[in-house]
Amino acid sequence: MAWLPEAEAERGGHWGRDRRKEDRERGRAFLVLVTLVMASSSSTVEADAAGAGANSMRRPHAGQLSKFTNVVKGWQPRWFVLDPESGRLEYFLPKSEGGLGDKLTSHHSSSGSAFAHGPGKSRGAQHLAGAVVLPSDEDSQTFNVNFASGESFKLRGANARERQLWVDRVRAVVQLHDAAIAQNNPPLSHAAASILRHHEQTMPPTPPGAR
């Protein structure tokens, strides 16, 4: 091995240490970059999945549910159609009870024998804005839809999974139309509310018997 002056040997040692330090720093920087890329990719995938889930909740949905009609007839099969665009939940009798055709059999969650040939005539419809959807404590299949109109549907799915599917979809439509109404009808400003209260307070009392 050739002899090196002491100063050159020391410089060589420093150069080797600096090179190893730079290599370690490059390695750490590379690991940080890989971690950031993976986190960004994971977030994108999760966001795409969430967006796809939200969109699927807002597609038309139809299927058979049992509806509690009254204490005499009890539970009866009905074909329900959920229309996110109009915000309506409509239901139909079996075709044997009234002819309409089978144009609403697409997007169904399940089809029972009562609707093997499609739904019959429309029996009723309610708008879902302001509605409240409540899973029942009675069992794992029943749920209630309480509408702003005061009407209430007591419904039952074939199983717990189907109940949850309907609950999630109906709630998504409720939220969609509640948000649209809130956007089109913003709350009164503080000044406007004060003026309205002052007007109400200064109005003369209603004479007895005028109501």
Cα separation of the two ends of the chain: 116
- Between CA 112 and CA 102 the distance in angstroms is 14
Separation of CA 104 from chain center? 23
Structure tokens at 130: 């302001």
pLDDT at 12: 56
pLDDT at 95: 72
Element (H, E) at 62: strand 61-70
Residue 141: which of 114, 113, 162, 172 has the closest Cα? 162
153: which residues sit within 8 A by CB, 6+ positions away?
67, 89, 91, 126, 144, 145, 147
> Tokens 């009798």 sit at which residue?
93
pLDDT at 104: 45
Q: What's the average pLDDT block by block, 10 residues per block, for the chain (211 residues)?
A: 52 62 70 60 49 65 94 93 95 70 44 61 93 96 96 96 96 94 72 60 55 44
pLDDT at 190: 60
pLDDT at 81: 95
Query: Structure pTM?
Result: 0.58
Which domains, ranges and CATH numbers included, belong to the chain?
A: 61-184 (2.30.29.30)
Strands 88-94 vs 119-127: parallel, antiparallel or unpaired: antiparallel
pLDDT at 144: 97
pLDDT at 75: 95
pLDDT at 211: 44
